[in-house]
Chain A
Amino acid sequence: MEILLQLILSGIALGMIYAVIAFGYQSTFATSGTLNFGQGEALMLGAMFGLSLAGDVMGGPYLNYWLMIPAVLIFGALQGAVVEAVGVRPAIKTKSEFGWIMSTIALGIIFRNVAENIWGKDDMPFPSPLPTSPLHIFGANVLPMELMVVVGAFLMMILVELFNRKTIYGKAVVATASDRDAAGLMGINTRMVITFSYALSSMSAAFAGVLIAPITLTGASMGAVLGLKAFAVAIIGGLNSGMGIIVGGVLLGIAETTTGFYISTGYKDVPGLVLLLFVLAIKPSGIFGKTAIKKV
């Protein structure tokens, strides 16, 4: 029983990471109808950049973990803005319907190659800012960093939600997401909003990177699988549902940890993908996804 509880708690922490990355997919999809398929690489770059600041790989540490986070957030935002400017905007401008798919995948591969050349191909440990000895919660062992993941993920989503609801700029982002033409008539520069949503998307991925890095390892290839699974979470939960990605992420996280323990770690990726196929067959808009209703 303690083991099951522990698997569930670890699954939740993992699931919240998926949710944060999936949140990034949602943010660009809402405003532009496009996705950054290099989202996993944005996570990896964030973690690598964070490691270079807070670890000793580049002659550091220069900053402690907590001061490193704002720097990583800025780095992530800039990286996302670059992806949008180089990979997405030209495709939107030429009305190329699928150009952005190839260009964001291509940019992701380039980022991974660059990272391999800067930091090497080996995985590296990321210094944990919290004690590494587990806490005992109802008999289950939970790493303090796992709790930090859950708290950090919720905090980020709440802050973005507050921004969207309470500030005129956030309202402009929501307006752009629901009707780009009408948003333009309000005087909102919708192209800038799309750039912003890419910045926000990569920023959340970079944040997810430095949250998960102390639990796993940091390396140039860490992002690919996470990015793909978070994409599955976005599809399972619904590309337009905030609740959906949390539930979808946690479902997938728990499915993985329990399968890994009770069946075989070799099969731990299977249940999530089966769930994905299942959702696509039964409710393609996602468990919580809304099909857009337009009143005429």
Chain B
Amino acid sequence: MLEVRNLKASYGQVQVLHDISLTVPKGKVVTLIGSNGAGKTTTMRAISGMIKPAAGQVELAGKNIAGLPSHKIAKLGLAHSPEGRKVFPTQSIMDNLLLGAFTRLSMGGGRPKGDISSDLDRALDLFPRLRERQHQLAGTLSGGEQQMLAMARALMLNPDVLLLDEPSLGLAPILVDEVFHIINRLKEQGMTMLLVEQFAAAALAIADYGYVMENGKIAVHGPAKDLQNDPKVVAAYLGGGH
């Protein structure tokens, strides 16, 4: 469904991604783990068009999307819940969710409209905390609630592929569990996902396949089960015992 080949990206003169290649098959969950600064978020941003890759291909359902602006990539069915949540603070939760469905609600938006109200219902069922607060401004939500809103907003695109960048970052432990529980439910529903996570153990437990990044390169990859037992991966990323 999502195929990244030899992706390179730079910030100014500094090359931060070196020939990243990864595959996210339809209906599977793939995780990207690695230490801070390894280039996980940059990879996500290069895939969704938030930054322009310097070279390489990104294929979404067989179509090369590398270098397209993010709004065109969204139209083609890729949703990205970005690092730092980036909810729209001055607008209500409901407005944030409707904006997630912008490509379905606007003329020439590019995505089939479908049943917006039942999708809203589904998103709010998944995140009941948001239902109670749907008329509240997003900026007044706690960090955990904002994270849930960012995920729910991404789902409103009705995406073919969902990128989740650090959904547990900065959350209280009980909310981390809730977020992973929700990711699991999305997996059961057959959602194709690329997940960047600091909690490598939890991410590998949910994922089908994993890539480990180091210094802007893919260092190791393999089925998540194998990575969980790989002594090097365990020592470097799972040793903390989250």
Binding site for B on A (CB under 8 A): 168-169, 171-172, 174-175, 178-179, 181-190, 293-296
Contact = CB atoms under 8 A, between A and B. Distances in A.
Interface in B71-117: 71, 74-75, 79-80, 82, 84, 86-91, 95, 98-100, 102-103, 105-106, 109-111
B139 interface: yes
A186 B102 contact: yes
A296 B70 contact: no
Contacts of A293: 139
A164 to B, nearest CB: 10
A73 to B, nearest CB: 21
Nearest to B142: A295
Given A178-B90, A187-B111, A172 B99 contact: yes
B88 A179 contact: yes
A179 B86 contact: yes
Given A172-B99, A296-B170, 9 more contacts: A168-B99, A171-B99, A172-B102, A174-B91, A178-B90, A185-B70, A185-B71, A186-B103, A187-B102
B58 to A, nearest CB: 15
B89 A295 contact: yes
B22 interface: no
B139 A295 contact: yes
B146 interface: yes
Given A179-B88, A186-B102, A295-B139, A171 B95 contact: yes
Given A172-B99, A172-B106, A187-B74, A181 B91 contact: no
Nearest to B69: A184
A295 B146 contact: yes
B50 interface: yes
A190 B143 CA distance: 26
B157 interface: yes
B90 A188 contact: no
B71 A168 contact: no
Interface of B: 48-50, 69-71, 74-75, 79-80, 82, 84, 86-91, 95, 98-100, 102-103, 105-106, 109-111, 139, 143, 146, 153-154, 157, 170
A17 B48 CA distance: 44
B99 A186 contact: yes
B86 A190 contact: no
B50 A181 contact: yes
Given A181-B50, A186-B103, A189-B71, A171 B91 contact: yes
Listed residue (A168, A174, A190) with the most chain B CB atoms within 10 angstroms of its CB: A168
B110 A187 contact: yes
Contacts of A184: 49-50, 69-71, 74
Nearest to B86: A182
Contact of B86 (A174, A181, A188, A189): A181
A175 B91 contact: yes
Contacts of A294: 89
A294 B49 CA distance: 24
A165 to B, nearest CB: 8
Nearest to B139: A295
A168 B98 contact: yes
Contacts of B49: 184
Contacts of A172: 99, 102, 106
The 5 closest A-B pairs by CB, nearest first: A187-B74, A187-B103, A182-B86, A184-B70, A168-B105
12 contacts: A168-B106, A169-B106, A171-B91, A172-B106, A175-B99, A178-B91, A182-B86, A183-B99, A185-B86, A186-B100, A294-B89, A295-B143
A295 B143 CA distance: 8
A183 B49 CA distance: 12
Contacts of A175: 88, 91, 99
B82 A185 contact: yes
A177 to B, nearest CB: 8
A203 to B, nearest CB: 21
Nearest to A182: B86
B146 to A, nearest CB: 7
Contacts of A185: 48, 50, 70-71, 74, 79-80, 82, 86, 154
Nearest to A168: B105
B75 to A, nearest CB: 5
Nearest to B80: A185
B65 to A, nearest CB: 13
Nearest to B96: A175
Contacts of A186: 71, 74, 99-100, 102-103, 153, 157
A187 B109 contact: yes
